[in-house]
Amino acid sequence: MNTSIKTIVGTAALLLSIQASAQITFYEGEGFRGRAFTTDQNVADFRGSGFNDRASSAVVDNGRWEACEAVAFGGRCVVLREGAYDSLNRMGINDRISSVRQVDGRAHYNNEAPEPLAAANYEYRRRPNERVYEADVTSVHAVVGQSGQHCWMERGQVEQSRGGRNVAGGVIGAVIGGVIGHQFGSGRGNDVATAGGVIAGAAVGSNQGRDSETRSADVQRCATTSNATPEYWDVDYRFHNVDHRIQMTAPPGNTILVNGDGDPRQ
């Protein structure tokens, strides 16, 4: 085999290997949710796959792909590069793709999509062509947030005293209180009663004649609150006689979807 033939064969093999490794996956929902459709071949008509006008997000595992609104690669088309597109809405092709084909990865196109995410954030989402099963939920516990104190300012009525202590009233009250206290007890007990009467009488007398007024002011009020809304749910489930636990943002039904390893899937 001469050099030119070897070169042609080698180039053809390289192109075939690139095409074979190229792959794109479309998802029915944004954020890589819902049903998925994966292909490593050009698809001129999505109607045969049941995915016509249904794609809302996509992941390009390898190569570049041109996604078009019409069958046979017609209408408006957008070139998707390797990476993850969590929403096709911002490029105007959400629920509008009817065909897709691989294009030259080294060429420059005027209809290239915006920069994709480096990788898809799958979390518990179903992977392409991944088989899922139903696992029985054995228990669900709602976890409620901690209680706390909630404070606020409001306009209220505050009573405020006017004027100083009534000195004369305090002296008179002390004398009267002492006389009354002297009437009780005997000996040392009499002395204690007298002193107590003086103190009480002075306090009462000093407050006589003092005025107070009510005015408006900002007053801080506080109350203890309880967070009655669960922050998450602890969910226990069993798959292939093995117990598992996960945290979910919403309560599940009687079963949840899992993959072959028992990992939850949406």
User: What residue type is assigned to position 48 of the chain?
Assistant: G
Residue 192: partners with Cβ closer than 8 Å, 6 or more residues away:
185
- 3-103 CATH choice from 2.60.20.10, 2.40.50.140, 1.10.240.10, 3.40.50.2300: 2.60.20.10
Residue with tokens 């636990």: 245
Domain ranges of the chain: 3-103, 133-146+229-265, 149-225
pLDDT at 33: 78
- Is 59 or 162 the better-scoring residue by pLDDT? 59
Q: If residue 59 lies in a helix (H) or strand (E), which one and from where to where?
A: strand 57-62
Residue 183, judged by CB atoms within 10 A of its CB (0-12, 13-18, 19+), counts as exposed
Structure tokens at 172: 């008179």
- Is 59 or 170 the better-scoring residue by pLDDT? 59
Q: Give the tens place of pLDDT for each residue, 51-74.
A: 999 999 999 988 999 999 999 999
Q: What is the distance between the alpha carbons of residues 181 and 213, in angstroms, rounded to a whole number?
A: 34
Q: Give the tens place of pLDDT for each residue, 88-119.
A: 988 899 999 999 999 998 888 999 998 888 76
